[in-house]
């Protein structure tokens, strides 16, 4: 009996070892064709040979025909179905792309039928993708009105992925529109989009030279919840409106230097003196998304560093911890039930904070990084809504700072466009702790139940109008 038990134990151990080896077996792939086949399977460990892989070479006439036959048709419920070049529909796979670069020529977008372009489409569950670099090649003025990489599956881990995005109507930021009304076709081109549950994005970077978001989180018909972005980086580039107005022969001149935004003198024109990001937001969430956590993420030269809106349901609080924004149009644009801790931004080109009107329950602590504005900036922060707590402070109190106001009881300018006026908005039950030694608070006369701790005196909107004769900022 003892020998039988010993034999049985040996058999079990051998079977377990064989099973483990099978599960851990690494399959090498050396072509996009082989990768496509592997991406349909389950439970694999795939490693791609380092190198540069061109989608223009991969998408032969026969492959395009096959691809088009596999794409879903538009329906009344899904008017813009996903359109991909490469789909990861298998489950529980690990893909190691260390040393691998995908090149996607922007001229390829035209082969896809109408829909929402998602060049790399991950809709399988439980997949890990790491080490991949994706670069746009081809004409710089062609965008897909979609993104480079989309996650729709659950329990996805994206690690150490880099995107170099180009394309779109580029060079003017959102001055000609961002979704409607528009003065011209935009051809947006975004970076990484996340939907689904329990998805994590770590140490990923998006370098955008296109008009679109770097990282954004949406529902897209999915239960999008418990999404984590950690140690991620978004980067765009800036351009002054003075440079746009001096442009000759470009799109700005063709459109007679118009803008979709009303400026402070009531005209819909590009205003001098400001600096615009040429991409959209570094990190963005949309309505209907559940719990989101952003840890130690950085945004540079984007429109909003972080435009983050939680839900009115406090149990789904969104957390920003250790995040920072530098050289953006606005550092943090915050909505309901968002908690901000140990985060910071400068004011080179725009405000530290917009706390949206018609929002509830945000708890914000932000550090202002010292720097003098390099173009027109009208305020350090606007604060509106209900039941918020806001603390603004600076760790460096020696460096020169601008003496700009904190606008309490005011909404952000329309569409968050700095050249538009800042107007009073309904505000009540707000706690503000102003530890900025150079910044005073201007209160909306109609704001209710305010608790203010500030090192400098406070002024009401009526008092400031009496002083300078202006009713808007």
Q: CA-to-CA distance for 51 and 30, rounded, in angstroms?
A: 9
Task: Measure CA 82 to chain center.
Answer: 20
Closest to 53 (Cα-Cα) out of 110, 116, 114, 99:
99
Closest to 119 (Cα-Cα) out of 189, 45, 50:
189
pLDDT higher than 60, residue 12: no
Instruction: Give yes or no for a contact between 112 and 156, defined as CB atoms under 8 angstroms apart.
Output: no
Q: Compute the half-sphere exposure of residue 114: CA atoms within 13 Å on the CB side of its CA.
A: 5
| CATH class name, domain 2-72+83-468 | mainly beta
Q: What pLDDT shows up at residue 5?
A: 57
Burial 161-183 (b: 16+ CB within 10 A, else e): bbbbbbbbbbbbbbbbbbeeeeb
Output the average pLDDT for the chain.
93
Q: What pLDDT shows up at residue 393?
A: 97
pLDDT digits (tens, 9 = 90+) for 117-138: 999 999 999 999 999 999 999 9
pLDDT higher than 60, residue 98: yes
pLDDT digits (tens, 9 = 90+) for 342-365: 999 999 999 999 999 999 999 999
**Angle at CA 424, nearest 5°, toward 423 and 428?**
150
Instruction: Give yes or no for a contact between 432 and 390, defined as CB atoms under 8 angstroms apart.
Output: yes
Q: What pLDDT shows up at residue 460?
A: 83
Q: What pLDDT shows up at residue 473?
A: 58
């Amino acid at each position: 009996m003892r020998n039988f038990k010993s034999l049985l134990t040996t058999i079990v151990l051998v079977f377990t070892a064989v099973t483990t080896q099978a599960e851990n077996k690494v399959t090498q792939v050396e072509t996009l064709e082989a990768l496509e086949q592997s991406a349909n399977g389950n439970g694999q460990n795939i490693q791609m040979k380092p190198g540069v892989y061109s989608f223009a070479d991969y998408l032969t006439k026969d492959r395009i025909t096959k691809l088009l036959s596999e794409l879903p048709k538009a329906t009344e419920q899904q008017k813009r179905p996903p359109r991909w070049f490469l789909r990861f529909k298998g489950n529980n796979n690990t893909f190691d792309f260390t040393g691998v670069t995908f090149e996607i020529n922007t001229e390829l977008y035209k082969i896809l039928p109408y829909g929402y372009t998602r060049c790399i489409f991950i809709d399988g569950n439980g997949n890990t993708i790491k080490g991949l670099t994706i670069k746009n090649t081809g004409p710089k003025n062609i965008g897909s009105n979609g993104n480079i990489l989309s996650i729709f599956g659950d329990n996805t881990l994206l690690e150490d992925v880099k995107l170099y995005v180009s394309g779109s109507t580029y060079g003017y930021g959102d001055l000609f529109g961002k979704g409607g009304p528009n003065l011209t076709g935009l051809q947006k081109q975004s970076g990484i989009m996340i939907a689904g549950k329990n998805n994590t994005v770590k140490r990923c970077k998006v370098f955008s030279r296109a008009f679109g978001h770097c990282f954004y989180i949406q529902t897209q018909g999915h239960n999008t919840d418990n999404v984590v972005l950690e140690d991620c980086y978004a980067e765009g580039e800036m351009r002054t409106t003075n440079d746009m107005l001096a442009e000759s022969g470009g799109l700005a001149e063709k459109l007679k230097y118009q803008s979709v935004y009303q400026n402070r003198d009531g005209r819909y024109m590009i205003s001098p003196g400001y600096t615009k990001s040429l991409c959209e937001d570094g990190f963005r969430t949309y309505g209907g998304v559940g719990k989101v956590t952003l840890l130690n993420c950085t945004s540079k030269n984007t429109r909003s560093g972080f435009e983050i809106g939680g839900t009115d349901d406090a149990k789904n609080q969104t957390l920003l911890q250790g995040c920072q924004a530098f050289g953006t149009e606005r550092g943090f644009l915050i909505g309901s039930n968002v908690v901000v801790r140990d985060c910071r931004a400068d004011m080179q080109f725009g405000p530290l904070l917009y706390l949206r009107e018609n929002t509830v329950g945000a708890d914000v602590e932000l550090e202002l990084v010292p720097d003098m504005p390099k173009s027109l900036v009208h305020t350090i922060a606007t604060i509106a809504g209900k039941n918020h707590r806001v603390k603004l402070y600076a760790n460096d109190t020696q460096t020169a700072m601008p003496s700009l106001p904190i606008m309490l009881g005011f909404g952000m300018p329309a569409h968050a466009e700095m050249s538009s006026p800042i107007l009073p908005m309904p505000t009540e039950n707000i706690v503000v702790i102003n530890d900025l030694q150079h910044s005073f608070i201007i209160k909306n006369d109609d704001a209710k139940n305010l608790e203010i701790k500030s090192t400098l005196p406070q002024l009401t909107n009526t008092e400031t109008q009496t002083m300078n004769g202006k009713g808007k900022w």
